[in-house]
């Protein structure tokens, strides 16, 4: 490879999609590790209204932005909303690959199916799986919401800022 071709090398773009309802330390672990694999990382926040998220899309975007600002990232990271198919979002973002975190065997079947379907829909988009770090293996957004609602301590799973937001949100629910 010549010096010129190195200079003109296309930046590697990765998309990390999720509902992020809300973003946990587990997601942040994936963001930190994904950034080492690309030049630009796009965090795609899916509207996923069918999942009836606790936080609105605007709130989730705000939370993701706040959370990643606490990380010492070297790569350019954008936070963007998306609706519709992930492969279309990845295409629009000119992504080279999609990143997903894998926690346990139970994640595998769903992720395997999704990666397979996405590969059929858009063969040019590769899915890269990162195994969740051991301290993040059991983190789940659903369980964090449940523990907060029942008055438990979630400080080891989410940031202080998010803990406050969760308590506020759940306190004001009917
Ligand atoms: N550490 C800890 N927890 C993690 C984690 C990690 N590394 N990775 C995922 N999780 C958890 C989350 O906490 C969340 O927990 P919950 O199930 O208790 O809520 C769960 O895994 C999944 O959440 P998230 O990572 O936000 O992703 P998702 O599965 O909700 O997102 C999309 C799925 C957005 C990728 C998918 O819905 C999608 O592609 N939508 C677009 C429509 C589309 O293209 N459909 C066709 C697909 S073939």
Report the pLDDT value the prediction gives residue 3, as an integer from 0 to 100.
Answer: 65
Confidence of residue 174 (pLDDT cuts 50, 70, 90): low
Cβ of 104 less than 6 Å from ligand 1: no
pTM of the model: 0.92
Distance CA 88, CA 73 (A): 26
Name which residue sits closest to atom 32 of ligand 1, judged by CA: 18
152, 119 Cβ separation under 8 angstroms:
no
pLDDT greater than 80 at residue 7: no
| Residue among 16, 27, 55 to mutate when testing ligand 1 (max atoms within 8 A of CB) | 27
User: Contacts by 87-94 with C-beta closer than 8 Å and gap 24+?
Assistant: 87/118, 87/121, 87/122, 87/125, 89/15, 89/17, 89/44, 90/15, 90/44, 90/122, 90/125, 91/122, 91/125, 93/13, 93/15, 93/42, 93/44, 94/13
Residue 51 annotated to the active site: yes
The predicted-structure confidence for 58-74, as pLDDT tens digits, reads as follows 999 999 999 999 998 98
Inform me whether the pLDDT recorded for 52 exceeds 80: yes
Is cis: bond before 22, omega within 30 of 0?
A: yes
- Please state the rounded mean pLDDT for residues 29-33: 96
Residue 152: strand, helix, or coil: coil
Q: Which atom of ligand 1 is nearest to the CA of 21?
A: 26
Mean pLDDT computed over every residue of the chain: 92
Asked whether residue 172 carries a pLDDT value surpassing 80, the answer given is no
Give residue 131's pLDDT.
Answer: 94
31 lines ligand 1 (CB under 6 A): no
Alpha-helix runs per DSSP H in 46-159:
57-69, 86-92, 105-121, 141-149
């Amino acid at each position: 490879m010549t010096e010129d071709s190195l200079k003109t090398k296309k930046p590697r773009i990765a998309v990390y999609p999720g509902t992020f309802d809300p973003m946990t330390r587990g997601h942040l672990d994936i963001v930190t590790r994904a950034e080492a694999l690309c030049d630009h990382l796009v965090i795609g926040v899916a509207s996923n209204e069918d999942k009836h998220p606790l936080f609105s899309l605007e709130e989730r975007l705000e939370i993701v932005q706040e959370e990643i600002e606490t990380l010492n990232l070297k790569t350019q990271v954008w936070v963007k909303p998306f609706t519709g198919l992930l492969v279309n979002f990845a295409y629009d973002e000119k992504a080279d690959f999609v990143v997903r975190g894998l926690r346990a065997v139970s994640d595998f079947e769903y992720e395997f199916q999704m990666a397979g379907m996405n590969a059929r829909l858009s063969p040019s988009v590769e899915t890269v799986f990162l195994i969740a770090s051991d301290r993040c293996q059991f983190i789940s957004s659903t369980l964090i919401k449940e523990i907060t609602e029942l008055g438990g301590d979630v400080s080891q799973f989410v940031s202080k800022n998010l803990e406050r937001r969760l308590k506020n949100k759940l306190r004001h629910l009917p």
